[in-house]
């Protein structure tokens, strides 16, 4: 039980689960690097966002189905086929969500392919938390418009 929005806490606490499901803007983070995971989770929670963490693509899909996050931060080696294959599945589960890719050094071709698959933005590492905060705020304002246009 690490903090607000932590999905492990939510499984044990029905009130927290209900709050998370009814939250206006929820963020799902799929990241295979635990040290980055915890930093990102702490930062997003301190900014007041409910945060779901996923350690695998399968878990990210399941949580997207269950919680319909507004924003999905997807740590991904953009040159990897599994990540690019996951994008349409995530967006099919929740067309309102914005997917932002977190990558070390993506190739231009991979970024273009990801954008063609529906990625809203990408964020190159190392993480600049202030820049990430601005990106999230921008995605939050776009979220309302996307939801309105797609409904």
The predicted structure's pLDDT at residue 142:
80
**Which helix (H) or strand (E) is 115 found in, with range?**
helix 108-116
The predicted structure's pLDDT at residue 20:
56
Mean pLDDT of 74-99: 78
Give dist(CA 31, CA 1) in Å, integer. 18
Q: Is the peptide bond before 102 cis (omega within 30 degrees of 0)?
A: no
- Give the confidence band of 34 by pLDDT, cuts at 50, 70, 90: low
From residue 81, alpha-carbon distances to 12, 15, 86, 99, 106 in Å are: 35, 38, 9, 16, 13
Determine how β-strand 27-30 pairs with β-strand 98-103: unpaired
The predicted structure's pLDDT at residue 65:
92
Q: Domains of the chain (ranges plus CATH)?
A: 7-150 (3.40.50.2300)
Q: What is the pTM of this model?
A: 0.78
Say yes or no to pLDDT of 54 above 80.
yes
Say yes or no to pLDDT of 108 above 60.
yes
Say yes or no to pLDDT of 125 above 90.
no
- Give the confidence band of 37 by pLDDT, cuts at 50, 70, 90: low
**Mean per-residue pLDDT over the chain, rounded:** 77
Say yes or no to pLDDT of 101 above 50.
yes
- The angle at the Cα of 48, spanning 16 to 117, to the nearest 5 degrees, equals 90
């Amino acid at each position: 039980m690490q903090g607000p929005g932590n999905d492990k806490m939510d499984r044990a606490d029905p009130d927290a689960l209900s709050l998370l499901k009814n939250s206006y803007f929820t963020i799902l983070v799929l990241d295979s690097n635990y040290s980055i995971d915890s930093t990102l989770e702490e930062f997003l929670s301190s900014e007041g966002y409910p945060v779901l963490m996923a350690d695998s693509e399968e878990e990210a899909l399941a949580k997207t189905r269950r919680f319909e996050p507004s924003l999905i931060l997807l740590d991904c080696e953009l040159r990897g086929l599994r990540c690019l294959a996951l994008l349409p599945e995530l967006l099919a589960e929740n067309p309102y969500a914005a997917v932002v890719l977190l990558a070390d050094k993506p190739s231009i071709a991979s970024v273009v392919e990801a954008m063609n698959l529906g990625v809203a933005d990408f964020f190159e590492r190392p993480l600049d938390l202030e820049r990430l905060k601005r990106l999230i705020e921008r995605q939050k304002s776009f979220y309302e418009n996307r939801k309105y246009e797609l409904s």
